[in-house]
Structure 1
Amino acid sequence: MKFDPLANLDLEVEFQEELDQLVQAPKTLVIHNDDFHSFDFVIETLIEVCGHEPLQAEQCTFIIHYSGKCAVKTDMFSKLQPVWAQVINLGLTATIEDIPKLAK
């Protein structure tokens, strides 16, 4: 059996293309309810960190409280990652997730 370096190269290229698609696809920042932080704290965080208007921040906070989570910002992963880090550093629970596909 001969070693074919180009065979592995094809796999690497295919893997890199899939990775690029995953990273470049828009994502959403989701904040989860923790039953610990006050409404005012979450509202202020959304205004200061996510750039929400006060009414938008208030609406998202109610959705977080009553539904358990809310998608608060959508952008490319590279743009959401620093926002996620700020939210986490403030003590909130947040994840970066794929945008849910709409039902057909």
Structure 2
Amino acid sequence: MKNSVLEELLPEVEQEVAVKEQVSKEHKIVLFNDEVNTFDHVIDMLVATCDHTPIQAEQCSLIVHYKGKCDVKTGDYDDLKPRCSALLEGGLTAEIQ
């Protein structure tokens, strides 16, 4: 009896989740490596603009250095746009994807 009730509700739940996924497209700021900025500057910028902890910012800076890029912040486009602009104004190479 329990399984039949669950089976009846499952398609409805799956449909609701699919609709929510389509509505909330999440964007991300991608930070790229460069040969100009110091680790300290990158860390300071991530703490100031992306609300990173110093350790999180340090880890992101190392990923950028060794991998060439790193997703540093995810969220709504309207929240990310001023953050990305601040990173760019600080001399970093970043974009919203």
TM range, smaller chain: 0.7 to 0.9
Per-residue deviation, 1:35 = 1.2
Query: Corresponding residue for 2:44?
Result: 44
Gap runs ≥5 in structure 1: 1-20, 98-104
Q: Does 1:34 align with 2:34?
A: yes
Residue type at the aligned position of 1:74? T
How far has the Cα of 1:25 moved from its partner? Answer: 1.4
Match of 1:82 in 2: 82
Residue 37 of structure 1 and its aligned partner are, at CA, apart by 0.2
Structure-1-length-normalised TM-score: 0.70
Q: Distance in 2 between matches of 1:68 and 1:41?
A: 17
Aligned to 2:94: 94
Name the structure with the higher helix share: 2
Report the TM-score when normalising by structure 2. 0.74
In the alignment, structure 2 segments of 5+ residues that lack a partner are 1-21
Instruction: State the secondary structure of the residue aligned to 2:36.
Output: coil
CA RMSD in angstroms, aligned pairs only: 1.4
Q: Runs ≥4 in structure 1, deviation > 6 angstroms? A: none
Structure 1 vs Structure 2: percent identity of aligned residues? 43
How many angstroms apart in 1 are the aligned matches of 2:48 and 2:77?
19
Distance 2:78 2:26 in 1: 10
Q: In structure 2, what residue type is equivalent to 1:78?
A: D
Q: Residue deviations 1:46-104, cap 9 Å, x none?
A: 0111110011000000000000000000001111001011001111000101xxxxxxx
